[in-house]
Structure 1
Amino acid sequence: MRRPIDSLFGRLALLVVAVLMLSHFAWYALMRLERSQLQTRYAVEEATFLVDAVRQHVARTPDQPLPSRVKLVDPASPDVPAASANMPPPLERFVEDVRDRMPADTQVRISPPGGPPTLWVRAATDRNWIVVPVQPLRMPRSLDRTVSWLVIIFSFAVMAALFAAWALQRPLRLLAQAVARFGRGLPVPPVPERGPRELRQLTHGFNQMVQEVARTENDRAVMLAGVAHDLKTPLARLRLRAEMMDDAKTRDGVVRDVDSMTHIVEQFLLFAHDGADRSEPVEVDAQCERVVRSYRAVASGAPIVHTELNAGPSFQLPAATLDRILSNLIDNAHAYGAPPVVVATARTPQGFTLSVSDNGKGIAAQDLISASRPFVRLDPARGGNGHSGLGLAIVERLVRRAGGEWEIGNHDGRGLRVLMSFPFEVLPRVATASENAW
């Protein structure tokens, strides 16, 4: 099961959202703290200004009445609040800030709770207590208009960051898809060189590598095809001369050798062929039955071949590709395995499977990786006349060219099994290729 967090975009999105959430939370907390401090400083400045204004008023115009909320109170009055030692931290900080702004030995008190907040101030030179109103020191509310703006800004920031993350990982995703196609042996068009400088350099290097590999493969295919084609004519003349020999024993030996060489040449030509299969798609189950039936008729002395065909009529592949796959695998099973040989198809939740297995000794575990490499012949059990070491390499190339995957291994401790898997989406591609060919 694919998890979104496993992808580059998923991890970038998670990182971006986490960073934005942390930064916005820190900014909001800092803004609330700064607003509280600003409120305290403003209240201190306002109270200090009012106290100084009252002192000037008393010194210059003592006969003029004071504002309604400002008054002078005799120190002996019972209304004078007592000094409180257990004030809330914001209020205690406010009192300390006001005392710092006043002359030395100034007494600063706050009216008891329950009424309008007032500040009581009396310096050493003051005859009376100066009582002035103060701005209420309210803590910022937990939810206010700032939160709404914060949510809006955060949403737009997340959308912009996700778009940037998508744009950053898209070239890398295209490169990963191209690497996957290249690993399966499928044609790889040039990948657009986009994104950051390092990613552009990586894409450019990959495109150059694909071009060099394709050029090398093409040169090798041309060389093999040319050599194989040039050998067909002398082999035909050699067979004709062998047929004219008088000694039957010698004639049969030479003909067998010529047939082996002809088979090797045909394998070279098939391996060198790199074009798309334009043959008509056929039902795999029906074609497997026909190939096995014809094989039994032609090779009457060959080991038994069984079929277990359960894929259904919707499993289709190009006829030429399927015939080449089956002929190479059945020949390989007859040459190196033991009867019975089983050709099986099945339908799975992921697609269709086609397998060919025998009951021989199989291949040693350390040789399974190299068994499908071109021109590799595993000795001593996998030698013989007429074999070039291309059979399994041809099958691998044909399967991947048809859009499938293959797996080679020993099944149940017996014999060799080649399991080929084709996803459902391959079938429309095969049908479309056939229609284009017409």
Structure 2
Amino acid sequence: MTTNSIRPPHDLFEPCGVTEPYVSRMANRLHRTLDSLFGRLALLVIVVLLLSHFAGYALFRLEGDQMQARYAVEEAVFLVDAVRQHIASTPNLPLPSRVRVVELLSATVPPLPTHTDTPFSRFLDAVRERMPPGTEVRVGKLGKAPPTLWVHQSGDRDWIVVPLQPLGGPRPLENTVLWLTLIFVSAVMAGLFAAWQLQQPLRSLASAVTRFGRGQPVPPVTERGPRELRQLTHGFNQMVQEVARTENDRAVMLAGVAHDLKTPLARLRLRAEMMDEVKVRDGVVRDVDSMTHIVEQFLVFAHDGADRSEAVEVDAQCERVVRSYRAVGEGAARVLTDLKAGPGFLLPAATLDRILSNLLDNAHAYGAPPVMVATTRTSMGYTLSVQDNGGGIAAQDLINASRPFVRLDPARGGSGHSGLGLTIVERLVRRAGGEWELGNHDGRGLRILMSFPLASIPAPILLAPLVPEALG
């Protein structure tokens, strides 16, 4: 008895040369993040908060210095006026310890300032503007000792010396930077939370739009967020309901007509086979077979349900389908395969069979051998392609090739075809979570390239190994 081995998940298959460097993966992830709505809102919030914090800090420092200078000027003018009034009203009372009166010709009078563009020179100019005209103002003891202000008005016999409010330099940055950092981090967190709250309903709506574009079932999207976003979501839900109702009516009508035609076609074939004349009988049988094929295509096209068949390995299933096609298809011997995707490439069996049968029939009817069925593994997922070596499709007709009930002349001149083959393939690919590309490859033949990202690949069924003890 053979034992079943556990098959690892498909995303663990990583062929050589496919793994991207770590730095490249991080760069791609960062690009995807910044390209999203949340990333752009977060970047906008951070930039705006940085600019506002820097501008506020610069304004705070500038206004703080100016306020300190104005306060020092007002305090000095007030002290000088108070001392003058004290001397005039009560000359016998002693002055405060830090206030004194110096004779006009004393040797201790400080000299005039030599630099005119210093904080003290600007301070002295401001004090002079607040004093009566002709007032002389000087600053004494500009060392480690606290500075003093010397004031002499015209008519005074002495210098009035008062303590000066020191004009300190800018305050230390430690406390200011700490508080600014805390405020900035709190504001960024609040902004990111608001951006995340706005992004969530948009992400749900974008996911629903993607599913709707692929023809997959779309449940109603919850209406949340700002008023405009709720209106958009409500309109999308109504559109999905109307489209689903129209599609259902169309599918029921088409399926009913096709189903009702199967019985008279079967009777017609039976009567044709009972004809005596061989040529007439063969012609009628061929026509009935063509009509039966069209009816079957109608039924497949009208089928709108999800594929619940078991997921199979695409490479193995492609080999089986091609082998069967070679055996039963007339003139279909030259169908080649180039299957390199590996066992991680899985698709629902019924979906894969319908895709391959429609594409092989299309290539056999309108292309030229050899027909190539190929699979490969890419950094983003897997690809499946079918290519023939015929004349291809004119560039102006490529956009209409996958539309339902469209036949391209003269290429679509055969019988037994309804113009639904490529339409069915496109619908099946999108329902499976993939994308397709229709075009002429290298100037020869039509190629249908189907890409399936890793997220769309169904997970394989893990089978536990049969333990000999359990077999008893």
Q: Quickly name the TM-score band, shorter chain normalised.
A: over 0.9
Q: Indicate the residue corresponding to 1:59 in structure 2.
A: 88
Q: Aligned runs of 1:31-430 on 2, under 5 Å?
A: 31-84=60-113, 86-111=115-140, 113-114=142-143, 115-428=145-458
- The alignment partner of 1:274 has SS state of coil
Residue identity opposite 1:143 in structure 2: L
Instruction: Report the CA distance shift for 1:301/1:133 in structure 2 as closer, same or farther (over 3 A).
Output: closer
Residue identity opposite 1:141 in structure 2: R
- The alignment partner of 1:368 has SS state of helix
User: Contact 2:116–2:122 at 8 Å: present in 1 too?
Assistant: no
CA distance in 2, matches of 1:269, 1:430: 30
Instruction: Report the CA distance shift for 1:301/1:119 in structure 2 as closer, same or farther (over 3 A).
Output: closer
In the TM superposition, what is the alpha-carbon distance from 1:362 to its structure 2 partner?
Answer: 0.6
Residue identity opposite 1:129 in structure 2: W
Q: Which shows bigger deviation, 389-398 or 342-351?
A: 342-351
CA distance in 1, matches of 2:315, 2:130: 98
Instruction: Describe the superposition over 1:69-124 as per-residue Cα deviations: whole angstroms up to 9, x where unpaired.
Output: 22211111122223325244532332233223333322222125224311111112
- The alignment partner of 1:352 has SS state of strand
Instruction: Describe the superposition over 1:117-148 as per-residue Cα deviations: whole angstroms up to 9, x where unpaired.
Output: 11111112321011111011112225142222
Q: Indicate the residue corresponding to 1:436 in structure 2.
A: none
CA distance in 1, matches of 2:69, 2:76: 11
Residue identity opposite 1:58 in structure 2: I
Mark the runs of 5 or more structure 1 residues left unpaired by the alignment: 433-438
Instruction: Report the CA distance shift for 1:145/1:280 in structure 2 as closer, same or farther (over 3 A).
Output: closer
CA distance in 1, matches of 2:329, 2:181: 78
Instruction: Report the CA distance shift for 1:278/1:177 in structure 2 as closer, same or farther (over 3 A).
Output: closer
Q: Which shows bigger deviation, 377-386 or 303-312?
A: 303-312
Tell me the C-alpha RMSD between the 2 structures.
1.9
Instruction: Describe the superposition over 1:179-226 as per-residue Cα deviations: whole angstroms up to 9, x where unpaired.
Output: 222222222222222221112212222222222222221111111101
CA distance in 2, matches of 1:345, 1:45: 87
CA distance in 2, matches of 1:347, 1:410: 22
User: Contact 2:113–2:121 at 8 Å: present in 1 too?
Assistant: no
Residue identity opposite 1:232 in structure 2: K
In the TM superposition, what is the alpha-carbon distance from 1:415 to its structure 2 partner?
Answer: 0.5
CA distance in 2, matches of 1:151, 1:349: 41
Q: Indicate the residue corresponding to 1:23 in structure 2.
A: 52
Residue identity opposite 1:428 in structure 2: P
In the TM superposition, what is the alpha-carbon distance from 1:331 to its structure 2 partner?
Answer: 0.6
Output the TM-score relative to the length of structure 2.
0.87
More relative contact order, 1 or 2 (CA 8 Å, 6+ apart): 2
CA distance in 2, matches of 1:233, 1:84: 117
- The alignment partner of 2:134 has SS state of coil
Q: Which shows bigger deviation, 354-363 or 42-51?
A: 42-51
User: Contact 1:317–1:430 at 8 Å: present in 2 too?
Assistant: no
CA distance in 2, matches of 1:31, 1:356: 70
CA distance in 2, matches of 1:238, 1:251: 11
User: Contact 2:373–2:386 at 8 Å: present in 1 too?
Assistant: yes
Q: Which shows bigger deviation, 11-20 or 85-94?
A: 85-94
CA distance in 1, matches of 2:94, 2:358: 117
CA distance in 2, matches of 1:67, 1:46: 16
Instruction: Describe the superposition over 1:203-260 as per-residue Cα deviations: whole angstroms up to 9, x where unpaired.
Output: 2222222222222211111111011001011111111111111111111111110110
Instruction: Report the CA distance shift for 1:428/1:299 in structure 2 as closer, same or farther (over 3 A).
Output: closer
User: Contact 1:343–1:354 at 8 Å: present in 2 too?
Assistant: yes
CA distance in 1, matches of 2:174, 2:388: 77
Residue identity opposite 1:302 in structure 2: A
In the TM superposition, what is the alpha-carbon distance from 1:396 to its structure 2 partner?
Answer: 1.0
CA distance in 2, matches of 1:414, 1:299: 23
User: Contact 2:347–2:458 at 8 Å: present in 1 too?
Assistant: no
**In percent, how many aligned pairs have the same letter?**
75
Mark the runs of 5 or more structure 2 residues left unpaired by the alignment: 1-27, 463-472
Instruction: Report the CA distance shift for 1:353/1:369 in structure 2 as closer, same or farther (over 3 A).
Output: same
User: Contact 1:318–1:430 at 8 Å: present in 2 too?
Assistant: no
Residue identity opposite 2:59 in structure 1: L
CA distance in 1, matches of 2:398, 2:404: 13
Residue identity opposite 2:236 in structure 1: F
User: Contact 1:110–1:120 at 8 Å: present in 2 too?
Assistant: yes
- The alignment partner of 2:438 has SS state of strand
In the TM superposition, what is the alpha-carbon distance from 1:16 to its structure 2 partner?
Answer: 1.3
Q: Which shows bigger deviation, 295-304 or 369-378?
A: 295-304
In the TM superposition, what is the alpha-carbon distance from 1:303 to its structure 2 partner?
Answer: 4.9
User: Contact 1:303–1:341 at 8 Å: present in 2 too?
Assistant: no
- The alignment partner of 2:458 has SS state of helix
CA distance in 1, matches of 2:302, 2:459: 23
In the TM superposition, what is the alpha-carbon distance from 1:177 to its structure 2 partner?
Answer: 2.2
